């Protein structure tokens, strides 16, 4: 399994791939590992939906901490089940947007998208970008 800190996908390539896969605009894109949270994109719409910059930073900081905790939970079980080729994802809602979290290959990607966005195309694009 690749290290959680291996260099992630190229930002421009990742954004191009995800935009092609998305039916709706992307509000937030980040790649994360055990010790990293690389923010690739924050839309103007997401920025404008927050009262101020501090609110936006708070949302992203909380999201980064949640993803780090989730990554550690995955790591605790990595010796008990194969995760290198396995793709896991979950979807939830955050402030009226769909939060899509994809975990595979020892790395994770989090996307904040329109609630009507189809999940499958973005999961496939994330798998490609994360190297699985």
**How far is residue 16's CA from residue 5's CA, in Å, rounded to a whole number?**
22
End-to-end CA separation in angstroms for the chain: 10
Flag whether 108 is in a domain.
Answer: yes
Flag whether 27 is in a domain.
Answer: no
The parent domain of residue 66 ranges over: 34-117
Flag whether 40 is in a domain.
Answer: yes
pLDDT at position 70, please?
74
- Reported pTM: 0.78
Q: What is the gyration radius of the CA atoms in the chain, in angstroms?
A: 14
Flag whether 25 is in a domain.
Answer: no
Flag whether 58 is in a domain.
Answer: yes
Flag whether 42 is in a domain.
Answer: yes
pLDDT at position 26, please?
95
pLDDT at position 17, please?
95
Flag whether 105 is in a domain.
Answer: yes
Q: How many helices (H) and strands (E) does the chain have?
A: 4, 5
Flag whether 21 is in a domain.
Answer: no
Q: In total, how many domains does the chain have?
A: 1
pLDDT below 50 — which residues of the chain?
1-4, 76-77, 79-84
Closest CA to 89 of 106, 110, 62: 110
């Amino acid at each position: 399994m690749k290290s959680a800190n291996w260099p992630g996908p190229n930002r421009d390539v990742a954004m191009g791939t995800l935009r092609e896969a998305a039916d709706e605009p992307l509000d937030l894109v980040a790649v994360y590992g055990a010790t990293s949270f690389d923010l690739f994109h924050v839309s103007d719409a997401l920025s404008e939906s927050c009262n101020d910059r501090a609110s936006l930073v708070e949302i992203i900081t909380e999201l980064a901490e949640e993803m780090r905790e989730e990554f550690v939970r995955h790591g605790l079980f990595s010796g008990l089940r194969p995760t290198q080729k396995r793709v896991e994802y979950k979807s939830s809602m955050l402030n009226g947007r769909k939060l899509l979290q994809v975990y595979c290959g020892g790395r994770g990607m989090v996307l904040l998208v329109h609630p009507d966005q189809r999940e499958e195309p973005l999961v496939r694009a994330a798998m490609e970008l994360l190297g699985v």
